[in-house]
Structure 1
Amino acid sequence: MGCDGGTIPKRHELVKGPKKVEKVDKNAELAAKWKYCALSQEKLKRPIVACELGRLYNKDAIIEYLLDKSAERPNTEVVVHIRGIKDVKELNLTDNPAWEGERRNIKGDRYEDMHCAMFICPVVGLEMNGKHKFFYLQTCGCVFSERALKEVKTEICHKCGDPFQEDDLVVLNGTKEEVEKLQKAMEERRSKAKAAKKSKKSKDTKVSKTQDSAESCDLPKNISETKSTSLNGEGSSESAPGPSTSGESVKTVKAPVGPVAGSKRSIQEMKDKSETYKSLFTSHSSAKRTKDQISNWVTHTPYHF
């Protein structure tokens, strides 16, 4: 039973005030962005890639996502803008010599510094732990801090020597405003590439159509035909018709002795030919046989019994 003597409630038990807003630990938030993959939430390990919005991923996780987009994943909205492996860039990172790895505090008896990062800036030496702004180049994938780019102003990469422009710089794990700017720039870049691709296709189709029309309308030119027939019929020659091209001579083809090829006129009707010449052909009356002269077709098959 209990409570026979009564209870005295306190004010905080009777009056409910506003709920306290849960504060996110900044160190934990920075560690989640700079030490873990944005898609698989696993620890970052080489090879590491970055998208056009500046998020960090493990390359293996991106490849698995692209191979099977239908699989259920907790953070698929983070990689909706990634259409293929060309939309990400593999980063050329510089290792931190002070990084001892995960095995340094196995027993748990050592202080673990949350701000110690795996990678540093190759120019200034700042650790890539989220306290300083870092950029990567879309041309070569090298990573530098903002301080290095301001102190050493150049249009050539400090690490590999490739040229770059200001538009090639992408902020890693930037703020919401910076991410929105990067998204607008990405959409403009993709729309320009789409328009250029369409114009190129239209140009190719126009060129192919003009070529086809030119080939269909192209007629043979400079056709020369020479015909010469002698009274005896031995010197007849005719040049083969065809298109005249540069460096090619017109070939002449000699006609065979006898009637001109393609002529429907009979030789026996030609008055300028002699009778002896006409008798050479089967159409002459001397070559024709009567019914008595024509013998039946007989086959002899010997049988031996």
Structure 2
Amino acid sequence: MGCDGGTIPKRHELVKGPKKVEKVDKNAAIAARWKYCALSQEKLRRPIVSCDLGRFYNKDAVIEYLLDKTAERPNIEVAVHIRGIKDIKELNLTDNPAWAGERSNTKGDQYEDMNCGMFICPVVGVEMNGRHKFCFLQSCGCVFSDRAMKEVKTEICHKCGDTFQEEDIIVLNGTKEEVEKLQERMEEKRAKAKAGKKSKKSKVPETVSKSEDSQAPGPSDPVSSDPVSSSTSSDPSKATKRSSTTTPTTSSTTTTTTTTTIGSKRSIQGMKDKTELYKSLFTSHSSAKRTKDQTSNWVTHTPYHF
């Protein structure tokens, strides 16, 4: 057959069959989602953040993306929904004491457990390695396993003690159906926030216009609205009668004002219903007055220095 050394070729070497479909290693796929940043494809390192869709990111990678969105980066479609730093939440993770680190097996002479995760659930102790379902609270950022949230049902965070609602629970690296639900929730949340901002902006000009209307003076009416004055202008005899009737009222008002002003300026020493002991408490009493011998020629910090 033309082969050197008398070798006999086999059929699969001569006949080309269909190519086998390459299968992705499950361990590698899980590690890519739970141990690497979804944006930069680098290994996760603190501070680690997550978005409303439950994906892992390195915080510095997200900041670089927000500062320069024009740069060509791989997997940029993963972070399209992140518009600002408020759209991410820093995760409060619990370290796994069994995690020895990546440099523990540099020689390659030790067994490396691929299922060992860097973080664990603080309630149940389950490792966050992709084999178990995990979620985090959007209010405080604490991460727990789904098993802990179902077994210990409460409205207070197990780790920090902050209150949360069911809407604050976001699944990490969920399935397609779970990601679609989270996306719908995110869009509803942003729509409500946008409507709230519009309502606040509309209320501000309304309050300004109301204040301007209250401060603006009313239109002056040149025509008198008093029927009596109009009638007196035509008949002088009625005018004299009107003036005679109005004089007592004006005098009464002046007397009341004078009495109130006099009453407000009345001295305490002239009140007969007050006792002498009560009057002596005030500086207007005769006992508080000093003679010329008691007065000093030098200035002090208080005029009542003796």
Moved more, 124-133 or 194-203: 194-203
* Alpha-carbon offset, residue 126 of structure 1: 0.3
Distance 2:218 2:14 in 1: 100
1:15–1:108 Cα change, 3 Å: closer
1:56–1:218 Cα change, 3 Å: farther
Distance 2:212 2:20 in 1: 76
Per-residue CA shift, 1:53-74, capped at 9, x if unaligned? 0000011111111111111111
Give me the TM-score of the superposition, normalised by structure 1.
0.67
Distance 2:110 2:8 in 1: 48
Distance 2:23 2:132 in 1: 22
* Alpha-carbon offset, residue 28 of structure 1: 0.5
Per-residue CA shift, 1:237-257, capped at 9, x if unaligned? xxxxxxxxxxxx9xxxxxxxx
In structure 1, give the amino acid aligned to 2:23: K
The 5-angstrom pairing of residues 1-305 of structure 1 reads 2=2, 12=12, 17-217=17-217
Per-residue CA shift, 1:122-154, capped at 9, x if unaligned? 000000000000000000000000110111111
Gaps of 5+ in 2: 221-260, 262-306
* Alpha-carbon offset, residue 16 of structure 1: 5.2
Distance 2:25 2:218 in 1: 79
Per-residue CA shift, 1:100-119, capped at 9, x if unaligned? 11121011111111111110
Secondary structure at 1:49 match in 2:
strand
Larger radius of gyration: 1
Distance 2:130 2:136 in 1: 14
In structure 2, give the amino acid aligned to 1:38: A
Distance 1:11 1:217 in 2: 105
Secondary structure at 2:216 match in 1:
helix
Distance 1:36 1:86 in 2: 22
Moved more, 208-217 or 138-147: 208-217
In structure 2, give the amino acid aligned to 1:121: C
In structure 2, give the amino acid aligned to 1:192: K
Distance 1:78 1:104 in 2: 32
In structure 2, give the amino acid aligned to 1:112: E
Gaps of 5+ in 1: 221-248, 250-305
* Alpha-carbon offset, residue 213 of structure 1: 2.2
Distance 2:131 2:2 in 1: 57
1:60–1:208 Cα change, 3 Å: same
**Structure whose residues are more often helix by fraction:** 2
In structure 2, give the amino acid aligned to 1:63: I
In structure 1, give the amino acid aligned to 2:77: E
Give me the TM-score of the superposition, normalised by structure 2.
0.67
In structure 1, give the amino acid aligned to 2:47: P
Distance 2:71 2:127 in 1: 36
Secondary structure at 2:136 match in 1:
strand
Distance 2:219 2:85 in 1: 51
In structure 2, give the amino acid aligned to 1:36: Y
Secondary structure at 2:131 match in 1:
coil
* Alpha-carbon offset, residue 171 of structure 1: 0.5
Distance 2:114 2:9 in 1: 44
* Alpha-carbon offset, residue 203 of structure 1: 1.2
Q: Percent identity?
A: 76
1:218–1:67 Cα change, 3 Å: farther
Distance 2:59 2:142 in 1: 16
Distance 1:215 1:162 in 2: 47
* Alpha-carbon offset, residue 20 of structure 1: 2.2
* Alpha-carbon offset, residue 15 of structure 1: 5.9
1:218–1:158 Cα change, 3 Å: farther
Distance 2:132 2:218 in 1: 69
